[in-house]
Chains A and B, each alone.
Chain A
Amino acid sequence: MSLATATPATAPEQLVAAGVRSALESVFDAVAATRADTTALLAKVAAQGRRPATVDLAALRPGLHLRLARHELVSGVGFVAAPGLLSDVPAWLEWWQSTSDGGIRPLLLDLDPEHSAYADYTHWDWFALPRDTGERAVAGPYVDYLCSDEYSLTLSAPVEVEGRFAGVAAADVYLRHFEAAVMPMLHQLPVPARLVNARGRVAASTDPRHLVGSLSKGPDFAEALAAGRAGYARGARLVPCDGVPLVLVMAER
């Protein structure tokens, strides 16, 4: 790429980064609303001097159903309790999903370790990252064989009660829906491009040499995200989508 091409603020790459950010921010809105509802609910229960139970979480349902209906990208949404939070069960997901025929259904998992090899969900990135960092997070792309059997991104944020971690609010975006949302933007760029996560996993791509789900090795994408501004690494242009942990990578012309 020629050194003479200074990058104006409204360069196509910046528009794409802004578009991707805005798509995921709308999903984070659903996460934030779920987090706010859950925090308020758990605070109310705590004020009554008792521990919450699964029956209390039913109050979250109208909001969860509304978010599934309103957010086109969101296919699953809910609150995942930290083990030990609830008084009646060891672990719980108050989780709702859209169905292929346009309806909604609750996810009902067997979380009894005596029956299920998948009972412990605390090691999944969508749970562990917000718990360990206290920040919102984007997990994936990954195969979600716990909840949806879909290749997915899961956006999540920690829920706290009286300063203690109580679980995560989260929303699922199926990769095929994410792809449909961002590909028209990527196609407007003059060169093949892809979106990768901090670990280099490709989440969407117009570059047939770098397919979705593959790893891009070489540049340190976490570093590019931390730097927060566009640059070059190993001959590729890297543009962080500020605020969401994805990097737009463009091949050199």
Chain B
Amino acid sequence: MNQQQHMNGGARKAVFAPVDNRARVDAVVGRLGDAIELGLLADGEQLPGESELAGQLGVSTVTLREALMALRQQGLVTTRRGRGGGSFVSLPEVPGEERLRVRLRSWSTEELRDLGDHWAALSSTAARLAAQRTEPEDLVQLRRTAEELTHAEGAAARGRVYGRFHVELAAAAQSARLTREQVALQTEVGALLCLVLGNDEYREEAAARHRSVISAVQDGAHDSARELAERCVQESTARLIAERLAL
């Protein structure tokens, strides 16, 4: 698979969308680091050239270089000089979980709480609308995803499937805007979620929560669909914050 293919599509589109003004270096480090943790950028994959990548992310090349330097220090990127050179994704030998904890430490509990609030707003509204607008065929994908979560091995795969559930829920709400927001949000939260989904017991609880959201959506019970989706997100956020406090 060539580099261009890796640079596009689905959640990956959001990886290279412009970042906001605040703490741009951190934002770039977080965005690319999360994408590497999630496997959206593969080990050994070449990143676009500096000026192209800076343009896509909406940052100056100076900012991008600082971010790449930080990623090199974390061992997530290597840079080769000369012909055929450039920046490459490299997964170091350190266990993924350890690197994720480093990443989690860069979030304050206030930021995590706020991320959870945004996510809960998106998913609870999506669940309510889906319950009003759904027909049985819409639920096929959600069911398949809930089922996959119960079987997914490895924290990264669980994080991806968990995120896909929320994207599909937004699509079942028939809202392109909510779906786009959810895709962007999952690129931020997805890597962190791997930390809590590695726990088999919680993975099973999350899958059960997803199934209960599907049932409420199917029954057209929009109020309980909204509440169940909100609780699902709140529980995941609470676990993330507990992980953060334990660091």
Number of A-B residue pairs having CB atoms within 8 Å of each other in the complex: 92
Q: 1/0 contact trace for A86-97 toward B, CB 8 Å?
A: 000100000000
Which residues does chain A contribute within 8 Å of B4, judged by CB atoms? 108
Check B180 against A214 for contact (C-beta < 8 Å).
no
B contact residues, total (Cβ < 8 Å): 36
Q: Which residues of B contact A112 (CB under 8 A)?
A: 1, 42
Chain A residue contacts of B216, Cβ below 8 A: none
Is A200 located at the chain interface by the 8 A CB criterion? yes
B135 adjacent to A117 (CB under 8 Å): no
Residue of B with least CB distance to A148: B176
B40 interface neighbour in A89, A116, A123, Cβ under 8 Å: A116
Find the residue from B41, B135, B144, B170 having the highest chain A CB count within 10 A. Answer: B135
With contacts A149-B180, A201-B135, A213-B133 taken as known, whether A118 is within 8 angstroms of B171 at the C-beta atoms is: no
- Nearest CB to that of B13 among chain A residues? A149
Complex Cα distance, B178 from A151, in Å, reads 11
The answer to whether A116 and B1 touch across the interface, beta carbons within 8 angstroms, is no
Alpha-carbon gap, A151 to B179, bound state (A): 10
B135, A215: Cβ atoms under 8 Å?
Answer: yes
Q: Is A85 an interface residue (CB 8 A)?
A: no
Interface status of B18 (Cβ within 8 A of chain A)? no
CA A215 – CA B130 in complex, angstroms?
10
| Residues of A contacting B11 in the complex (Cβ-Cβ under 8 angstroms) | 116-118
With A116-B12, A117-B160, A215-B135 as contacts: A143 and B39 at CB distance below 8 Å: no
Q: Is the CB of B133 within 8 A of A109?
A: no
CA distance A97 to B174 in the complex (A): 22
Q: How many chain A residues touch the partner (CB < 8 A)? A: 28
Residues of A within 8 A of B8 (CB): 107-110
Question: Pick the contact of B1 from A110, A213, A215 — CB < 8 Å?
Answer: A110
Cβ of A245 within 8 Å of any chain B Cβ, yes or no, is: no
Nearest first, the 10 closest Cβ-Cβ pairs linking A and B are A109-B9, A213-B174, A117-B160, A143-B171, A108-B8, A118-B10, A117-B164, A151-B176, A115-B39, A143-B179
Contact residues, B121-172 vs A (CB, 8 A): 132-135, 137, 140-141, 144, 160-161, 163-164, 167, 170-171
With a cutoff of 8 Å between Cβ atoms, the chain A residues found around residue B24 in the complex are none
**Which of B13, B41, B141 touches A123 (beta carbons < 8 Å)?**
B141
Contact with B along A120-152 (1 / 0, CB 8 A): 000101000000000000000111011001110
